[in-house]
Every structure is written in C-alpha cells, then in structure tokens.
C-alpha cells in the first residue's frame, strides 16, 4: 500500500542518523530537505519536495499541515510563492499525504532553534526531519507552521525553485543566469527579448541540482506577503465542496454510535445486547474494553439502538472524585502564601482558580475505517495524520506501512485533534475491525465529545506581592498547581524578587493541549495579580505596567499601542471600565484592552476589545486578523461561561445547553493592530487568548470594584461594590 513512499524518494537514506558526515575535505552535509523528490520528478516538473509546476504554468504546493479554519495553507503557499516570484492566481495548495517524507522537519526551528549556526543548518534540519519521521509527527499546532515550515521550509523551497528555473532558461538560451529575471511565473532575458513561462521551463528545471543556499528576498520587496490575498480554502467552503470527515462516505459504509465508560479508566463490565439486536437496521453490537458500540445502516438507527442498552461500567476507583475534591487537593498542595521581604510597606495575597475546559469543536470527533485482512484505510480529520496513522496501526496490530490515512479539513481543532488524543481513531478502527471488511463510520455525539475530551487542565495559583512606601513593587511570588512552564509563568516586569513554583496535586481527569496551552491559565493568574498590585500601589494599571518594562521594549510597545487604541485614560460613564493585560506566548507579544459596561444589577456587556500584536511580521494580513479575532472570541466564551465540572468521577456537562458559547449578539467589537518588529516570526493562532481573561476581569474591577478571581466569570456576582 505504501510502495510509493518507499521507492519514490531519493537521497533520504544516504546519511547515517540524519545528521552530517565528516568527509576528507571537511563537512559533507546531509541532503537538503528540498531535494527529497520523487523518482520521476523531471517528468512531472517537481522542482523541490514541496513544489511542482505543470506544463499549463500552475504552481502546486504541497503543505505538510492541515486546514482547520486558521488559513495556514494559504500563508505557507504565500511564503513559497513570494520567493518563487509566482503569479498568485496560478498557485494551488494541497495537503501533503500522511507519509513519513512529509514529517515536520522544521519544528525545532519554530520552537526556538532558529538560531542554529549556518554551517550546521542543513544537518540540524535534516536530523530533525528524520527524528520527526521516526516519531510520526506531521503536526499542526503550537503555532509552529508559519514560523517553522514557512520560514525555514517554504521560503527556501520557493527560492530554490526560482533559481532552478532561471538556470534552466539561461542554459536553454545560452545566456548568463545573472541576466535573466523571474517575475510573475515567467523568466525573461531583456537583452535578447526571450521569455518563457515556468510551465515551459519546469521539466528542464527539474533536472537541475537543488541549490543548497538560495538567495531569499529582502522583505522590503515583498509583493505577496503582507497582503490579504484570497484564501485558497474559502471557495470550497462557500460552494459546499469542502470535505470534512463527517461528510465522507464510501460504498457499503455502515455507521456506529458509542457509549464510553463515563469515568476515565473505567471498563465495560456487562451489557445485554438483546434490545439493540432486535431493532431495525442494526448489524452488530460491538463490545470493547472501555465502550460498547452499535453498528447500523444509519447513524440515527445506531443511536436509537444504543439508547436501548444499559451498559454497566466500572469506575476505576475514581468514583469519589469531584471538582471540590480536586480543588481541595490543589489548595492543600499550594500551602501558605509565598514569603515576602520584611521591609515591605504593603503586602497583598490572592488566590485564582481556572476550571477544566473542553475544546468543543463544531465538528465532533469522527473516524471512518475499512479493515481488510492486513490492510486498512482510515479517513479522519486530525492535526497530525502521521501520528493518527500510527495509532490506527497499533490498535489493529498492523505494520504502519499497511495503513493508509486520508486527512480532511477540520471543523475546529484547538488541540483536541493533536497527537496523544486520538482515542476516536483508536475506537473507530477497532469497531471497523469487528465488521471487517465492511467500512464503518464512527461518529461521536456532542455528549461523547463534551464528556470524553482531553481537557484544558484545571489550575490554581496563590500569589503574594510586596510594595515599598512609594508603591514600587519589591516582590511578586506565586505557587501554582495544574502545570506550568517558563513561558507561561514568565513576567516581563522589573521587580527585584520574582519566583513561580509548581506544587503537584494529582487527579485522574485526562488533560490535553488547549488553545495557548498553559498560557491560558497563567495569563489570567499573573496579569490579574499585577493589576491588583497596581491598585494596591494607588497607580494606574497601564502606567504601573509601563514603568516596569524598561528592559522589555517589545512588551512596552505593545502595551502602549493597545492603550492608545482604546483611548486609555479618557473618561467613561459610571458602570463602565477598561482593563489591560499583556502576555507573550509562542514568540508573539499580545496586549489587550477590554472595555465593559456593568449594570447596577450586575449584568455584564463586553463592549470592545483592542489587541496590539507583535508577531515579528505578518504574512497574510486578513488571516492574521481573523486569527486574532477568533482567539479573542474563543477566550471570551471560556472566561464568561465555560466550565467542566466533575461529580462521582464523571463529567457533569453534556452539550451546549450546559457548556455554552457566546452568541453573535453578545460578541464585542474587536480592533486589532500589528506591530512589525525585527523579532523572528511568532505564532498567531494562540497568542491572542491569554491576555483576554485578565484584561476582562481587570475591566470589571475598574467598572464595579468587584475583583474576579475565579473563572468562569458567571460564578461571581457583579453587583457593584
């Protein structure tokens, strides 16, 4: 099944360990990632791993990342097309297949490894690629696509392809390559008047060696980047041709509905299948270790038959776990407030709480699979098709080369479709195996989705701060539970004593990555507390922060921009207030100001959100704006309304009726501004999330005098103090 991937690529196994070899004349570097092309590359016009140009002058770009509404494939195609000097109207993008050759070789660059010495770059990139292929990572997440694959992969691939086309033209016309100019998907030689389209040159260009260090464009000459080109995914979404996993059908397909053990780790003890067996359309009741599935000729019939069953599950010893018991353990683990300097004129302490949160993607989890002997086909929508393929192979006890996975557009991801969360693939292929060789689509209901997520972790933080007689902060300390890392707990302020220490408190609720990961909790914690310190000092929260950012010019610029955008300091009517917060995550700094109005009875309206964002540079302006707006709305729903609670070891919430989202009518106006800096490219999908909750709660305090220290905000009465 996977013969193509085993035979088609050349050079992939020529360097031991994927690094570089020490040759007689010095370093012999690993093959460039961009030279991993198919054996028939010259015949089909494949110039680099990612770029193929057809005779009709269409540029096809393979994208090793998925489309889940964020527009990443368009941005990556723009980065390649910019360096290629392509006519954007002739550019097409397609998700790369789930094969090892398309593993994320530049993820290390994105996560901070961009500062690799030039002489080691190819070896590091190739070694990273081989490692990612071994781990099975072809992931879209962590805001890594543009700043990793884009900056270190697509740009170089486009520039290399352009130089190959120019070299082919120069050879064909017997002129110096330096006299040829590439522009608008054509190469021209002014002196002779000759020109040719990329499509006419592609096959000859594909026989050229791939340049190892092509020249990249000066950003001042960008013509495609920094614009709002038409997104490549929009037409299919408008005309309905876009394919999602939930849309997929195949001949003879059956449908499955699941009941999963309600307590994590629980097992199926018993189930009487008789009621379902007798119902129309039912083909089989499949018993699994942790679930029971009904397979029928329609999903409606499968669900109806499943509802007739009364499966009994064990609780894995977690039947006494509750939200209250988890937070009681958090509280005990945190211990006393951190110690403060004895010379302080004023001290303050505060505890903050953040709940478990579900991802609640609009498209629930779906997996269709066909298992036929030692071969399997899997159709799903995932953020890492390579890892999902491995999960399916393991569940079926098959060689991974015998599993073919087709990935679709995702109806939302936010971390729920990342590696180590592919239970829906695991369960789906096992149900299909029981019906082999008939294909089966296993669809999760919204109840399945809400009650069996990999949740954003609940967390708690205990802060202590100290100020001198002038209101200057002397110390800011925190103990926290629920996870944290250096990025999430980092505060950019010049305060003499700062520390953050994690205190462990275990619980059995399974957790996963959620949009902005741990920054979502700690952004709320640290930027709420710095606001409390500002008020304790009797100072304006914006001015207080700004005075502490002398060594952080990017933070200061973003903070000042957001304040200026919002009219910070101008009078507001009674019951209205502004709050401010600034956070960094995934290489991007985001400052936000939230303007709220609160009625005397405590009814809250979020009027306006202003966001100033320094992500280094913007590739697709409209796409980046949409990312910012989407992150703000995502964070706003969570801050206002969302909470997963536990009772008797199981999740209480079941659907949008008790896990609500804000409605369009309740959405605020959003204004965004991007600050261009010399910093490396940062992420955009996640950084707008962390500042929202603290800025919102700080605004509520400014409007009412009520300090919100626990999310969601709906739990705190907002009647004016």
- Domain segments of the chain as ranges: 3-230, 254-316+365-443, 459-715
Percent of the chain surpassing pLDDT 70: 95
How distant is the alpha carbon of residue 343 from its chain centre?
A: 45
Quick one: CATH architecture of 459-715? 2-Layer Sandwich (3.30)
Percent of the chain surpassing pLDDT 90: 88
Nearest alpha carbon to residue 472 among 410, 523, 418, 534: 534
* Alpha helices (runs of H) in 278-418, residue ranges in sequence order: 299-307, 323-334, 385-396
Report pLDDT for 108: 78
Task: In whole angstroms, give the CA distance from residue 181 to residue 198.
Answer: 12
Nearest alpha carbon to residue 412 among 140, 74, 68: 68
Nearest alpha carbon to residue 466 among 377, 338, 583, 353: 338
Quick one: CATH architecture of 3-230? 2-Layer Sandwich (3.30)
Task: In whole angstroms, give the CA distance from residue 506 to residue 203.
Answer: 60
Nearest alpha carbon to residue 694 among 587, 591, 616, 566: 591
Task: In whole angstroms, give the CA distance from residue 189 to residue 181.
Answer: 7
Task: In whole angstroms, give the CA distance from residue 511 to residue 264.
Answer: 11
pLDDT over 80 (residue 25): no
Q: pLDDT per residue over 270-298, tens digit each?
A: 999 999 999 999 999 999 999 999 999 99
Q: Are 649 and 264 in contact (CB under 8 A)?
A: yes
- Band (pLDDT 50/70/90 cuts) for residue 21 is very low
Report pLDDT for 33: 78
450: alpha, beta or left? (left if phi > 0; alpha if psi -120 to 50): alpha
- Band (pLDDT 50/70/90 cuts) for residue 381 is very high
- A 10 A CB-CB count for 557 gives 17
Q: Tokens 């509750």 — which residue?
A: 322
Secondary structure class of 304 (helix, strand, coil) = helix
Report pLDDT for 117: 72
Report pLDDT for 115: 64
Report pLDDT for 114: 59
Q: pLDDT per residue over 97-149, tens digit each?
A: 999 989 988 887 887 655 677 777 777 788 888 889 888 899 999 999 999 99
pLDDT over 80 (residue 477): yes
Q: Are 512 and 424 in contact (CB under 8 A)?
A: no
Report pLDDT for 9: 30
Task: In whole angstroms, give the CA distance from residue 198 to residue 183.
Answer: 10
Q: Are 451 and 651 in contact (CB under 8 A)?
A: yes
Crossing angle of helices 519-536 and 692-704, in 10° steps, is 30
User: What integer best gives the mean pLDDT of the chain?
Assistant: 93
Backbone φ, ψ for residue 163 (5° rounding):
-65, -35
Mean predicted confidence (pLDDT) in 614-628: 97
In this structure, which CATH number among 3.60.15.10, 3.30.365.10, 3.40.50.970, 3.75.10.10 belongs to the domain 254-316+365-443?
Answer: 3.30.365.10
Q: pLDDT per residue over 651-662, tens digit each?
A: 999 999 999 999
Report pLDDT for 393: 98
Report pLDDT for 493: 98
- Band (pLDDT 50/70/90 cuts) for residue 30 is low
Report pLDDT for 573: 97
Nearest alpha carbon to residue 662 among 643, 692, 634, 685: 634
- A 10 A CB-CB count for 329 gives 17
- Band (pLDDT 50/70/90 cuts) for residue 484 is confident
- Per the document, the length of the chain is 721
Task: In whole angstroms, give the CA distance from residue 410 to residue 148.
Answer: 21
Task: In whole angstroms, give the CA distance from residue 538 to residue 593.
Answer: 20
Report pLDDT for 17: 27
- Band (pLDDT 50/70/90 cuts) for residue 35 is confident
By the 10 Å C-beta count (0-12 exposed, 13-18 middle, 19+ buried), 77 is classed as buried
Q: pLDDT per residue over 160-201, tens digit each?
A: 999 999 999 999 999 999 999 999 999 999 999 999 999 999
Report pLDDT for 113: 53
pLDDT over 80 (residue 20): no
Q: Is the pTM of this model over 0.75?
A: yes
List the beta strands (DSSP E) in 220-318. 254-260, 268-270, 282-287, 291-296, 312-313
Mean predicted confidence (pLDDT) in 342-371: 97
379-413 residues labelled b (16+ CB within 10 A) or e (exposed): bbbbbbbbbbbbbbbebbebebeebbbbbbbbbbb
Cis peptide before 712 (omega within 30 of 0): yes
Report pLDDT for 128: 86
State whether the Cα torsion 411-413-419-424 is positive or negative: negative
271: alpha, beta or left? (left if phi > 0; alpha if psi -120 to 50): beta
Q: Are 363 and 413 in contact (CB under 8 A)?
A: no
Q: Which helix (H) or strand (E) holds 605?
A: strand 604-614
Q: pLDDT per residue over 203-220, tens digit each?
A: 999 999 999 889 999 999
| Lowest mean per-residue pLDDT among 18-32, 352-366, 556-570 | 18-32
C-alpha distances in angstroms, 695 versus 470, 526, 559, 590, 644? 25, 11, 12, 11, 22
Mean predicted confidence (pLDDT) in 435-453: 98
Report pLDDT for 175: 98
Backbone φ, ψ for residue 468 (5° rounding):
-90, -175
Crossing angle of helices 72-84 and 155-173, in 10° steps, is 30
Mean predicted confidence (pLDDT) in 610-628: 97
* Identical fold, 254-316+365-443 and 459-715: yes
DSSP secondary structure, 57-117, as one string: SPEEEEESS--SSS-HHHHHHHHHHHHHT--GGGEEEEEPPSSGGGS-TTHHHHTTGGG--
């Amino acid at each position: 099944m996977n013969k193509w991937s085993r035979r088609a690529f050349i050079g992939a196994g020529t360097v031991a360990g994927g690094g570089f070899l020490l040759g007689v004349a010095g370093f012999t570097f690993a093959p460039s990632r961009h030279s991993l092309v198919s054996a028939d590359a010259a015949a089909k016009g494949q110039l680099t791993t990612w770029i193929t140009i057809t005779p009709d002058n269409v540029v096809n770009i393979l994208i090793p990342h998925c489309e889940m509404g964020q527009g990443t494939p368009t941005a990556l195609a723009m980065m390649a097309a910019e360096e290629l000097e392509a006519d954007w109207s002739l550019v097409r993008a397609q998700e790369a297949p789930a094969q090892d050759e398309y593993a994320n070789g530049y993820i290390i660059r994105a996560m901070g490894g961009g500062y690799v010495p030039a002489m080691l770059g190819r070896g590091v990139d190739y070694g990273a690629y081989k490692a990612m292929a071994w781990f099975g990572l072809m992931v879209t997440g962590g805001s890594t696509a543009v700043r990793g694959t884009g900056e270190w992969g697509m740009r170089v691939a486009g520039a290399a392809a352009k130089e190959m086309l120019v070299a082919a033209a120069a050879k064909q016309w017997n002129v110096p390559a330096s006299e040829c100019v590439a522009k608008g998907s054509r190469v021209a030689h002014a002196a002779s008047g000759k020109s040719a389209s990329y499509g006419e040159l592609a096959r000859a260009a594909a026989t050229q060696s791939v340049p190892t260090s092509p020249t990249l464009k000066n950003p001042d000459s960008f013509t495609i980047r920094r614009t709002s080109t038409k997104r490549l995914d929009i037409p299919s979404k408008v005309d309905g041709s876009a394919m999602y996993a939930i849309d997929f059908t195949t001949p003879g397909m059956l449908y499955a509905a699941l009941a999963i053990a309600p307590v994590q780790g629980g097992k199926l003890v018993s189930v009487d299948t008789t009621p379902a067996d007798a119902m129309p359309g039912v083909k089989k009741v499949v018993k699994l270790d942790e679930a029971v599935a009904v397979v029928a000729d329609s999903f409606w019939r499968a669900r109806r038959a499943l509802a007739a069953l009364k499966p009994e599950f064990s609780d894995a010893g977690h039947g006494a776990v509750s939200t209250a018991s988890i937070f009681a353990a958090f509280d005990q683990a945190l211990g006393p407030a951190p110690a403060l300097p004895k010379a302080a004129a004023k001290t303050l302490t505060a505890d903050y709480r953040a709940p478990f949160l579900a991802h609640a993607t609009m498209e629930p989890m779906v997996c269709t699979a066909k298992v036929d002997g030692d071969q399997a086909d899997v159709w799903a929508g995932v953020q890492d098709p390579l890892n999902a393929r491995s999960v399916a192979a393991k569940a079926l006890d098959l060689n991974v080369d015998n599993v073919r996975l087709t990935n679709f557009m995702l109806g939302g991801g936010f971390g729920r479709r990342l590696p180590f969360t592919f239970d829906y693939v695991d369960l789906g292929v096992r149900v299909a195996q029981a019906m082999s060789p008939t294909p089966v689509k296993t669809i999760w209901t919204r109840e399945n989705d809400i009650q069996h997520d990999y949740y954003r972790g609940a967390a708690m933080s205990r802060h202590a701060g100290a100020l001198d007689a002038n209101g200057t902060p002397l110390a800011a300390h925190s103990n926290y539970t629920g996870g944290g890392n250096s990025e999430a707990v980092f505060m950019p302020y010049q305060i003499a004593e700062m520390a953050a220490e994690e205190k462990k408190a275990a619980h059995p609720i399974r957790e996963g990555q959620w949009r902005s990961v741990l920054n979502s909790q700690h952004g709320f914690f640290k930027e709420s507390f710095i606001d409390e310190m500002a008020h304790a000092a009797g100072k304006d929260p914006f001015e207080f922060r700004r005075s502490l950012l002398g060594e952080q010019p990017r933070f200061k610029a973003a903070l000042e921009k957001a304040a200026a955008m919002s009219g910070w300091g101008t009078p507001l009517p009674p019951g209205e207030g502004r709050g401010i917060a600034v956070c960094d995550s995934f290489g991007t700094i985001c400052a936000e100001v939230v303007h709220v109005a609160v009625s005397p009875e405590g009814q809250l309206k979020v009027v306006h959100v202003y966001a100033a964002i320094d992500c280094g540079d913007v590739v697709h302006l409209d796409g980046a704006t949409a990312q910012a707006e989407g992150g703000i709305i995502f964070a706003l729903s969570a801050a206002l309304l969302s909470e997963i609670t536990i009772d008797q070891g199981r999740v209480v919430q079941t659907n949008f009726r008790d896990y609500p989202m804000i409605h369009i009518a309740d959405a605020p106006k959003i204004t965004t501004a991007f600050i261009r800096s010399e910093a490396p490219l940062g992420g955009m999908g996640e950084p707008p999330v962390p500042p929202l909750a603290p800025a919102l709660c700080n605004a509520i305090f400014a409007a009412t005098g009520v300090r919100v220290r626990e999310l969601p905000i709906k739990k705190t009465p907002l009647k004016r103090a």
